[in-house]
Chain A
Amino acid sequence: MYAYDKFDRSLVDIRVAEFRDQVERRVKGDLTEEEFRPIRLMNGLYLQLHAYMLRVAVPYGTMSGDQMRRLAHIARKYDKGYGHFTTRQNIQFNWPKLSETPDILAELADVEMHAIQTSGNCIRNVTSDQFAGATADEIADPRPYAELLRQWSSFHPEFSFLPRKFKFAITGADQDRAAVKWHDIGLIVRKNDAGEIGFEVIVGGGMGRTPVIGKTIREFLPEKDFLSYQEAILRVYNEQGRRDNKYKARIKILVEAMGAEEFARQVEVEWEKIKDSHIDVPQEEVARIQAFFQPPELANQDATSAVTSEFAKKNFIFASWLQNNTNAHKVQGYVNITISLKPHGGIPGDASAEQMDLVAALSDEYSQSEIRVSHEQNLILPHVALKDLPAIWADLDEAGLGTANVGLLTDMIVCPGLDYCALANARSIPIAQAITKRFDDMKRLQDIGPIKVKMSGCINACGHHHAGHIGILGVDRKGQEMYQLLLGGSGAEDATKAAILGPGFDEHGIVDALEKVVAVYLGVREDGEEFLSTYRRIGAQVFKEAVYDAA
């Protein structure tokens, strides 16, 4: 894991002092609310429906056990005892007091964390594959590059006031778990024929009211030009991105308007001007950062574990957990485990202080004190020995964290919706809870198989409904909360936009409709065919008839 040196430390410390000063000036009236707004946003502080909300960065989703313990402490001391993990691999606290936020930031700085640029019209926290550095299907660990991006984009003098927020995602694996094609800039680590590392650069993806899948503008960007090329993209965007309408201000609109080819051409022109101007860091610095991400030394293990197999034979839930919540590790006898934050009936992505403490303790004992957050709002313990799984699962299960549903229907991405969010049209949490109640049977879930349900409480699409195999979108119809059903989206390497199936439903109707869609799938699927493949094979019509004719 990356560790701060005196430079990193000094920057976050000064930032805390600066924010303390800004809060004081705001309280005294020296700063107007209008001026304070971008300042607090750049420190992750939102004004929500009921209170302030503080969003803390978990850079590229990697943190230590100590950091998790600090988050638990903050949840206890400054909040109501819980936190909410988001699709940006961040954590949000929903109830901090404005006057206490500088103290919270100081507590975070103490464990090398911050809330810098987790909001505002600037370059946001870079997201990545939650299994980075630990997965079997990886070309290279993308996190050193994510860290380079983090440093380059922090307090960038030219790009701190962009037309709109700007999100990077990077992956080093063939299987895209970071939804890179849905980001302002998506990066995929590639190797060329000479075995050198470089990046495929994808721009102009995004959700929101105008969903767009990003376009590749460069197949292979050499590692040494990594940052200068990003800067060239930002140059074009900062000059020409629209500032007259916030719904048209994201880079996706510019790329669509210009055409990806013309956009790429302009980027190349800018890049020629700046590529040799020391934007990229010296090679020594890349090596220094990479050294923090060396794979851990793991003791030799057998490829199988008798303890684990035996336990799985006796316990169906554990067997499901083993199947759904683990992912192949680079090293034989090890796995990465995903801790589901989607207990049936719970609030997706929420974790209590006690649960955070437990995960921290488990990480110390079993996963090299490493924890990850996924954009699907779950927690990961990487590098876990297969033989330790029964013990870990037992501890998790006792704390309400043993749900075996990762990748299954109830492992939904769900935005906070009208229960918290000032922009929401409809509640999303109660719908998610109703769905988990309807699909509470593990055998049934297992039979339905891998399926991604994603739900947003309004058109801003924080719940990624456009990328859901099944998407649910909350809308306001004459003061009534209604829900639209979308099918066929994907956030993976085969990214597609989900399409609206037909008229919306009320809060009960949407759950019925979802169930009908699943029933159609179960009826027509071929052997081993997953939901998305079936949908792609047979199209929307059959689903439409089933959902609307019976209604």
Chain B
Amino acid sequence: MTLLSLTGIESGPWITLLDGELPSEGDSIAVPIARLLEEGVSAFATAGALGAAVPTGTSFAELEEVVRSLTFVAIEFSAFGDGRGFSLAVRLRKDMGFKGEIRAVGPVMPDQAQFLLRSGFDSVEITDESRVGAFRVSLERFNEFYQTDYMGARSIAHARHGISQ
């Protein structure tokens, strides 16, 4: 398994906590969101850094309850066609102002690299290492976009008129 940074910023390693498992003091841990909501953020106060493992079916409202205590979020795609993962990242960035790392986990495709980046993901966990090259190529594919991204970055429509934001 390879961790690929989409943004160029080094991403931190962390452990995803299994059911019932307790973190060792100081560990960076990703806790499944259901458990985090059930046990409360304070139950994991000894963790070095606290993150959430968020399946794509998680509602935005649930995520909002805990987002302030998180330093990173792993969005778990059930399938590459599950577009809710992109929306979760956009919500985290745009609506909730989340600044920590967002990682894509699960069966995302190399061809989705720019969608991930432009929705707010920082990194992607790649299970099949032979695909890292394809991810890198895809990440460089387009250089201008019709839409502003999650940060409201300049779109083609703005570039055409020399307008920057």
Contact present for A35 and B146 (CB under 8 Å): no
| A277 interfacial contact with B, CB 8 Å | yes
The listed residue (B134, B147, B161) touching A157 by CB distance below 8 A is B147
| B14 interfacial contact with A, CB 8 Å | no
Which residues in chain A, 265-296, are within 8 Å of chain B measured between CB atoms? 273-274, 277-279, 281-282, 284-285, 288
Contact present for A235 and B87 (CB under 8 Å): yes
Q: What is the minimal beta-carbon distance from B79 to any residue of chain A, in angstroms?
A: 9
Contact present for B83 and A238 (CB under 8 Å): yes
Contact A161-B80, Cβ < 8 Å, known A155-B146, A274-B94, A282-B163: yes
| A160 interfacial contact with B, CB 8 Å | yes
Q: What is the minimal beta-carbon distance from B110 to any residue of chain A, in angstroms?
A: 9
Mark each residue of chain A from 134 to 169: 1 if its CB lies under 8 Å from any CB of chain B, else 0. Answer: 000000000000000001101111111111000000
Contact present for B111 and A278 (CB under 8 Å): no
CA distance A215 to B161 in the complex (A): 37
Contact A158-B144, Cβ < 8 Å, known A278-B165, A281-B155: no
The listed residue (B84, B144, B158, B165) touching A238 by CB distance below 8 A is B84
The listed residue (B80, B81, B87, B142) touching A14 by CB distance below 8 A is B142
Contact present for A11 and B119 (CB under 8 Å): no
| B95 interfacial contact with A, CB 8 Å | yes
Contact present for B60 and A239 (CB under 8 Å): yes
Which residues in chain A, 98-143, are within 8 Å of chain B measured between CB atoms? 121
CA distance A10 to B59 in the complex (A): 37
The listed residue (A38, A157, A274) touching B118 by CB distance below 8 A is A157
Contact present for B80 and A35 (CB under 8 Å): yes
| A97 interfacial contact with B, CB 8 Å | no
* A-B interface pairs (CB < 8 A), number: 112
Contact present for A10 and B84 (CB under 8 Å): no
| A440 interfacial contact with B, CB 8 Å | no
The listed residue (B59, B130, B144) touching A239 by CB distance below 8 A is B59
Contact present for A158 and B87 (CB under 8 Å): yes
CA distance A353 to B147 in the complex (A): 37
Contact present for B159 and A7 (CB under 8 Å): yes
| A18 interfacial contact with B, CB 8 Å | yes
CA distance A22 to B79 in the complex (A): 19
| B152 interfacial contact with A, CB 8 Å | yes
| B99 interfacial contact with A, CB 8 Å | no
| B157 interfacial contact with A, CB 8 Å | yes
CB-CB under 8 A from A25, the residues of chain B are 134
Contact A160-B87, Cβ < 8 Å, known A11-B144, A155-B145, A285-B161: no
The listed residue (B90, B141, B161) touching A158 by CB distance below 8 A is B90
CB-CB under 8 A from A319, the residues of chain B are none
CB-CB under 8 A from A151, the residues of chain B are 146, 156-157
| A39 interfacial contact with B, CB 8 Å | yes
Contact present for B161 and A154 (CB under 8 Å): no
| A33 interfacial contact with B, CB 8 Å | no
Q: What is the minimal beta-carbon distance from A15 to any residue of chain B, in angstroms?
A: 8
Max count, chain B CB within 10 A of own CB: residue among A156, A158, A243, A288: A158
Q: What is the minimal beta-carbon distance from A493 to any residue of chain B, in angstroms?
A: 31
| A5 interfacial contact with B, CB 8 Å | yes
Contact present for A277 and B148 (CB under 8 Å): yes
Q: Give how many B residues have a beta carbon under 8 Å from the other chain's beta carbons.
A: 44
Mark each residue of chain B from 117 to 140: 1 if its CB lies under 8 Å from any CB of chain A, else 0. Answer: 011000000000011001001100
Contact present for B160 and A161 (CB under 8 Å): no
Contact present for B119 and A157 (CB under 8 Å): yes
Q: What is the minimal beta-carbon distance from B91 to any residue of chain A, in angstroms?
A: 8
Contact present for B158 and A282 (CB under 8 Å): yes
Contact present for A39 and B148 (CB under 8 Å): no
CA distance A452 to B145 in the complex (A): 42
CA distance A76 to B125 in the complex (A): 46
Contact present for B142 and A11 (CB under 8 Å): yes
CA distance A7 to B131 in the complex (A): 29
Contact A162-B83, Cβ < 8 Å, known A154-B146, A239-B60, A282-B161: yes
Mark each residue of chain A from 5 to 45: 1 if its CB lies under 8 Å from any CB of chain B, else 0. Answer: 10100110010001001100100001000010011000000
CA distance A30 to B109 in the complex (A): 11
Contact present for A38 and B94 (CB under 8 Å): no
CB-CB under 8 A from B148, the residues of chain A are 277-279
Contact A5-B160, Cβ < 8 Å, known A18-B141, A158-B87, A239-B84: yes
CB-CB under 8 A from A154, the residues of chain B are 146
Contact A156-B147, Cβ < 8 Å, known A161-B80, A235-B87, A274-B94: yes
CB-CB under 8 A from A159, the residues of chain B are 83, 86
- Write the chain A residue with the least CB distance to B115: A157
Contact present for A35 and B109 (CB under 8 Å): yes
Contact A38-B81, Cβ < 8 Å, known A157-B119, A273-B95: yes
Q: Residues on A close to B: CB < 8 A?
A: 5, 7, 10-11, 14, 18, 21-22, 25, 30, 35, 38-39, 121, 151-152, 154-163, 235, 238-239, 243, 273-274, 277-279, 281-282, 284-285, 288
Given A151-B146, A157-B145, A238-B87, 20 new contacts (CB under 8 A): A5-B160, A10-B143, A22-B111, A25-B134, A39-B109, A151-B157, A155-B115, A156-B146, A156-B147, A157-B90, A157-B116, A157-B119, A160-B115, A162-B83, A238-B84, A238-B86, A239-B60, A239-B84, A273-B95, A284-B161
28 sample A-B contacts, Cβ–Cβ < 8 Å, listed by A number: A7-B156, A7-B160, A10-B143, A11-B144, A18-B111, A18-B141, A22-B111, A25-B134, A39-B109, A151-B156, A154-B146, A155-B115, A157-B114, A157-B118, A157-B119, A160-B86, A161-B81, A161-B82, A163-B83, A239-B87, A273-B94, A277-B94, A277-B152, A278-B165, A279-B147, A281-B155, A284-B160, A284-B163
The 9 lowest CB-CB distance pairs between A and B, nearest first, are: A161-B83, A281-B157, A157-B118, A285-B157, A151-B146, A278-B152, A284-B161, A157-B115, A7-B156
